[in-house]
Amino acid sequence: MKISELKNHIRDIPNFPKEGIIFKDISTLLKHPKAFQKSVDAIAATFKAKKVKYVVGVEARGFIFGAALAYKLGAGFIPVRKKGKLPYRTQSVTYQLEYGMDTLEIHEDAIPANSRVLVVDDLLATGGTVRAVVDLLKGQNVKIVGVAFLVELEFLKGKEKLKDLPIYSVIQY
């Protein structure tokens, strides 16, 4: 399977979650073994030489790709969760969404200082969530070697919030 064929496995859902939005449903790609494998392999190949020690996955769909990538890269997996979901002491970041505020947390001892980290989420839209995660990780004193996504909605210009980092997306719209 070619990377160019992966778009064929993503379903458009019009007017979700609200009128005028076309939601990119990746569940149809996830259920297709070769498409899912090709997606993970493409990201892993891009970051293999970066000697990633930990993959940080953003709740919730970032967990799917993050865990698979951690396995593929021989790295640990670290979840960044919504407020109140982690059982131990946390560091948090609150950030602006298009429709309000949200807070993400990481265990305060999740990543040893100076570790090489790859941040992974399923989709890059406006970049606000991943920017918040990057800012949160800076408090952990780590080296972020890149940020990776399955899908990038280029017209929303999320890359502009991440100019200081290497960014890779498998599929662009």
**So which residues are the catalytic ones?**
61, 98
Residue with tokens 């070769």: 34
Helices 33-47 and 61-73 pack at an angle, to 10 degrees, of 60
> For residue 105, what are its two tokens?
């947390």
- DSSP state string for 96-164: EETTEEEEEEEETTSS-TT-EEEEEEEEESSSHHHHHHHHHHHTTT-EEEEEEEEEE-GGG-GGGGGTT
Return phi, psi of residue 84, to 5°.
85, 5
Helix (H/G/I), strand (E/B), else coil: 84: coil
Q: How many other CB atoms sit within 10 Å of the CB of residue 58? A: 25
| Amino acid, single-letter form, for residue 92 | S
